[in-house]
Amino acid sequence: MKVKILILAVATLLFVLSGCDASDSSPASFTRTEFALGTFVTVRIDGTSGKDANQALDGTFARLSEIELTASTKNHGSELSYVNQNAYERGITVSEELFFLLESGLFYSALTDGAFDITLGSVVELWGIGTDNARVPAPDELAEALENSGFENLLLSAENRTVRFLKEGLKIDLGALAKGYAADEMKRVLLENGVTSAVLNLGGDIITIGDKNGEDWLIGLADPLAPGESCAILRVSGLAVVTSGNYERYFMHEGARYHHVFDSQTGFPAESGVVSSTIITDSAMIADALSTAFFVMGIERAVEFAVSIPDTDYVLIDGGMNFMCSENINLEIIK
Ligand code: AMP
Ligand code: MG
């Protein structure tokens, strides 16, 4: 199972970069890849204002390590893991960074009416998707995990930066937010280091800086039916492009696919009809939260919801490979 997931992650990574390379006639770029937040993270710098690109790469990956220590649930020594073990009944004071992530997570959980919900940690843990222990839980286990979820059970106090859980079994999972936040922060560090043209790929969460030799960056959207290939090409400059897909992490059981994005109403992998949901906007963190939310909402609800969110574009794909897109995007469907 582990090997299969790694191969899928590599496949996704490669096709996105080859999408960017499709119009490549630029001089040498600087590229570095590391494994963090459970995925491969690649930064490719194509232009700086004369500053050292390697120094910019050092700085941006150092920032990524800091965020991992704050927000990862996979790292048992992270600040978030400490909160998950200790925030029931007594409030825990947390770092400014974690508080910002929890506040943002709670905001988008409420805004999307729980389609995106950072308190699904117990449900995520129970299914174990992406681990060696992935399995379909028994109904009573699932009922208990759902009972221990719900963003109304997460209390934040901005005054003294405290976090408190109202349920003993509640667990926060920032898996649908932290990669996007890391992308935004890594981009900020690159900009501070004089980078003028770059593309960052955090396991399929893409963020760009500037353009590429005066042309838009070409971002390949994974084909949900053949994730190593692109089914469409997006053209963007300076924006983030984040996708949630049912092909990213999953396991098969008795012929059925169980993927990693959960419906907070049922505790099961969301079956809304959407198999791939992409958000295009300035902030990768917001794109990350909304791509998950749109995936869970399904096309009708997501399209209606999108009207209330300014400066945000989307591409939704259903199981029949039908595309539903917002008006202002530059998208070429190639399959
Ligand atoms: P993404 O790939 O951005 O859609 O994030 C999926 C990851 O976020 C999963 O691996 C879980 O850790 C977590 N997650 C799953 N379902 C949800 C949900 N409905 N809301 C928030 N986070 C979720
Ligand atoms: Mg997401």
Per-residue pLDDT tens digits for 105-137: 999 999 999 999 999 999 999 999 999 999 999
Atom 22 of ligand 1, nearest CA residue: 176
pLDDT recorded at residue 22: 35
C-alpha of residue 27 to centroid of ligand 2, in Å:
33
Query: Residue 116 belongs to a domain with what CATH number?
Result: 1.10.3980.10
* 154 within some domain: yes
Residue 179 located in a structural domain: no
Has residue 9 got a pLDDT over 50? Answer: no
- Check residue 73 and give its pLDDT: 87
CA 28 to ligand 2 center in whole angstroms? 32
Identify the pLDDT of residue 71: 97
With 50 as the cut, is the pLDDT of residue 220 above it? Answer: yes
**Residue 134 is assigned to a structural domain of this protein:** yes
149 occurs within a structural domain: yes
pLDDT at 75: 87
pLDDT, residue 328, reads: 86
Residue 27 has a pLDDT of 52
Tell me if 288 CB under 6 Å of ligand 1. Answer: yes
- Asked whether residue 24 carries a pLDDT value surpassing 60, the answer given is no
pLDDT of residue 16: 47
- Which residue's CA is minimally distant from atom 13 of ligand 1? 175
E-strand ranges in the chain read 30-36, 39-48, 92-93, 154-157, 162-165, 195-202, 205-209, 217-223, 226-236, 240-245, 250-253, 256-259, 274-281, 313-318, 323-325, 331-333
Atom of ligand 1 nearest to the CA of 291: 4
Is 102 contained in some domain?
yes
Structural domain contains residue 1: no
Q: What is the mean pLDDT of the chain?
A: 92
56 lines ligand 1 (CB under 6 A): no
Is 141 part of any domain?
yes
- Which residues, 6+ apart, have CB-to-CB distance to 235 below 8 Å? 216, 217, 218, 219, 330, 331, 332
pLDDT tens digit string along 221-264? 999 999 999 999 999 999 999 999 999 999 999 999 999 999 99
For residues 87-105, average pLDDT:
96
Name the phi and psi angles at 269, rounded to 5: -50, 135
End-to-end CA distance of the chain: 29
Residues 191-196: what's their mean pLDDT? 97
Average pLDDT of the segment spanning 1-9:
33
**Residue 115 Cα, ligand 1 centroid: separation in angstroms?**
10
Percent of the chain with pLDDT over 90: 88
Please check whether residue 221 lies inside any domain of the structure. no
Query: Domain tally for the chain?
Result: 1
Residue 225 C-alpha to ligand 1 middle, in angstroms? 20
Give the mean model confidence (pLDDT) for residues 208-229. 95
DSSP-derived letter for residue 215 is: B
- The whole-number pLDDT of residue 28 equals 62
Q: What is the pLDDT of residue 97?
A: 98
Q: Give the pLDDT confidence score for residue 204 in this predicted structure.
A: 87
Residue span of the structural domain in which 149 resides: 79-165
Candidate of 118, 154, 181, 260 to mutate for ligand 1, largest count of ligand atoms within 8 Å of Cβ? 260
Query: Any idea which ligand is nearest the CA of 125?
Result: 1
What was the pLDDT predicted at 3?
A: 30
As given in the structure block, the two tokens for residue 68 are 């991992």
Atom of ligand 1 nearest to the CA of 263: 19
Which tens digit of pLDDT belongs to each residue from 132-155?
A: 999 999 999 999 999 999 999 999
What is the model's pLDDT at position 335? Answer: 86
Report, as an integer, the average pLDDT of 307-333: 96
Express as a percent the part of the chain with pLDDT over 70.
92
The stretch 27-56 carries a mean pLDDT of: 92
CA 280 to chain centre: 12
Q: Give pLDDT, residue 29.
A: 85
Ligand 1, atom 1, lies closest to the CA of: 176
Beta bridge pairs of residue 252: 257
Residue 210 has pLDDT above 70, yes or no: yes
161 — phi, psi (to 5°)? 55, 45
